[in-house]
Amino acid sequence: MLKRNPFRFLIALATMVTLMIAPAHARVEININKGNVEPLPIAITDFLQGELGQKISDVVAADLKRSGLFAPIAKTAFIEKITNPDAAPRFEDWKVINAQALVTGRVTQEGDGRLKAEFRLWDSFAGQQMAGQQFFTQPENWRRVAHIIADAIYEQITGEKGYFDTRIVYVAESGPKTARKRQLAIMDQDGANARGITNSNDIVLTPRFSPNKQEITYMSFEGNEPRVYLLQLETGQREVVGNFPGMTFAPRFSPDGQRVIMSLQQDGNANIYTMDLRSRTTTRLTSTAAIDTSPSYSPDGGQIVFESDRGGRQQLYVMSSGGGGQNRISFGDGSYSTPVWSPRGDLIAFTKQSGGKFSIGVMKPDGSGERILTTGFHNEGPTWAPNGRVLMFFRQNAGAGGPQLYSIDLTGYNEQLVQTKGFASDPAWSPLLE
Amino acid sequence: MSRIHAQAAGRMQSIARNPIMIALFASLALAACAKKPMNSAGDLGLGANSAATPGSTQDFTVNVGDRIFFDTDSTSIRADAQATLDRQAQWLAKYPNYAITVEGHADERGTREYNLALGARRAASTKEYLSSRGISASKIKTISYGKEKPVAVCDDISCWSQNRRAVTVLGGAGM
CB contact under 8 A, A293 and B117: yes
Which residue of chain A has the CA closest to B110?
A353
Q: Which 256-275 residues of chain A touch chain B by CB within 8 A? A: 263, 265, 267-270
pLDDT mean across residues, chain B: 78
Q: What is the pLDDT of residues A36-93, one digit of tens each?
A: 578 999 999 999 988 999 999 999 999 999 999 999 999 999 999 999 999 999 999 9
Mean pLDDT confidence for A388-410:
95
Q: Which residues contact A175 (CB under 8 A, 6 or more apart)?
A: A181
Confidence class for position A35, pLDDT limits 50, 70, 90: low
- What whole-number percentage of chain B has pLDDT above 70? 69
Inter-chain residue contact B113 with A377, CB threshold 8 Å: no
Helix axes B79-94, B112-132, angle to 10 degrees: 60
Q: Which is more confident, B138 or B49? A: B138
Q: Which residues of B touch A205 (CB under 8 A)?
A: 112, 116, 148
Question: Where residue A20 falls among pLDDT bands split at 50, 70, 90?
Answer: very low
Closest by Cα among A407, A315, A331 to A369: A331
- At residue A338, the pLDDT reads 98
β-strands A282-284, A357-363 pairing = unpaired
* Whole-Å CA distances, A370 to A137, A336, A352, A363: 44, 12, 11, 4
Within 10 A of A36 (CB to CB), how many other CB atoms are there? 11
pLDDT the model gives residue A31: 66
pLDDT at B8 over 70: no
Amino acid, res. A340: V
The verdict on A6 touching B (C-beta cutoff 8 Å) is: no
Query: Does the distance separating the beta carbons of A293 and B113 come in below 8 Å?
Result: yes
Mean pLDDT, chain A, as a whole number? 91
For residue A378, list chain B residues with Cβ-Cβ distance below 8 A: 108-109
A178 near B CB under 8 A: yes
Question: When comparing pLDDT for A203 and A17, which is higher?
Answer: A203
Q: Residue A12's pLDDT is what? A: 38
Q: Which parts of A85-184 fold into alpha helices (H)?
A: 91-96, 142-158
pLDDT tens per residue across span A219-265: 999 999 999 999 999 999 999 999 899 999 999 999 999 999 999 99
Cβ separation of A293 and B110 shorter than 8 Å? no
What is the tens place of the pLDDT at every residue in A316-353?
999 999 999 999 999 999 999 999 999 999 999 999 99
pLDDT at A27: 62
Residues 6+ apart with CB under 8 A from A315: A307, A308, A309, A328, A329, A330, A331, A335, A336
Of the ranges A5-19, A93-107, A163-177, A416-430, which one carries the lowest mean pLDDT score? Answer: A5-19
Q: What is the mean pLDDT of residues A408-412?
A: 93
**Distance from C-alpha of B110 to C-alpha of B125, rounded to nearest angstrom:** 19
- Largest Cα–Cα separation, chain B: 54
Cα nearest neighbour of A337 on chain B: B111
What is the per-residue pLDDT for A208?
98
Query: For residues A153 and A103, is the Cβ–Cβ distance under 8 A?
Result: yes
Distance from CA of B119 to the nearest CA of A (A): 9
pLDDT at B52: 84
Q: Do B108 and A247 touch (CB under 8 A)?
A: no
Reduced DSSP (H G I as helix, E B as strand, rest coil) percent helix, strand, coil of chain A, to 5: 15, 40, 45
Q: Is A171 helix (H, G, I), strand (E, B) or coil?
A: strand
At B171 the pLDDT is: 83
- Whether chain B has a CB inside 8 Å of the CB on A379: the answer is no
Residue in chain B lying closest to A251 (CA): B113
- Cα A46–Cα A49–Cα A54 angle in degrees, nearest 5: 35
| Minimal CA separation from B25 to chain A, in Å | 11
Tell me what pLDDT residue A115 has.
93
Q: Check residue A94 and report its DSSP letter.
A: H
Q: Looking at CA atoms only, how far is residue A246 from chain B in angstroms?
A: 9
Calpha distance A384→A386 (Å, rounded): 6
pLDDT tens-digit profile of B31-64? Answer: 433 334 444 444 444 445 557 899 999 999 999 9
Q: Which residue of B has its CA nearest to A399?
A: B155
Beta carbons of B110 and A353 less than 8 Å apart: yes
Chain B residues bordering chain A (beta-carbon distance below 8 Å)? 7, 24, 73, 75, 108-114, 116-118, 120-121, 124-125, 143-145, 148-151, 153, 155, 173-174
Asked if the Cβ–Cβ distance from A338 to B110 is below 8 Å, we say: no
Q: Please tell me the distance in Å from A164's CA to the nearest CA on chain B.
A: 28
| pTM (2 d.p.) | 0.87
Q: How many CA atoms lie within 13 A of A384 on its CB side?
A: 26
Q: Is the peptide bond before A100 cis (omega within 30 degrees of 0)?
A: no
> To which H or E segment does residue B82 belong?
helix B79-94
- Within its chain, how far is the Cα of B112 from the centroid? 19
**Residue A223: what pLDDT?**
93
Q: Write down the pLDDT at residue B25.
A: 37
**What DSSP string runs through A269-295?**
EEEEEEEETTT--EEE----SSBEEEE
Q: pLDDT tens digits for A87-145?
A: 999 999 999 999 999 999 999 999 999 999 999 999 999 999 999 999 999 999 999 99
Q: Which chain A residues are closer than 8 Å to B111 by Cβ?
A: 294, 314, 337-338, 351, 353, 380-381
CB spacing of A353 vs B109 below 8 angstroms: yes
Q: Compute the nearest-CA separation of A116 from chain B (Å).
A: 45
CA distance B111 to chain A (A): 7
Confidence of residue A433 (pLDDT cuts 50, 70, 90): confident
pLDDT tops 90 at residue B2: no
Residues B23-29: what's their mean pLDDT? 37
Rounded to a whole number of angstroms, the CA Rg of chain B reads 17
> Do A398 and B118 make contact, defined as CB atoms within 8 angstroms?
no
CB pairs under 8 A between A and B: 92
* Beta-carbon separation of B124 and A205 below 8 A: no
Percent of chain A with pLDDT over 90: 86
B142 CA to chain A: closest CA distance, Å?
Answer: 9
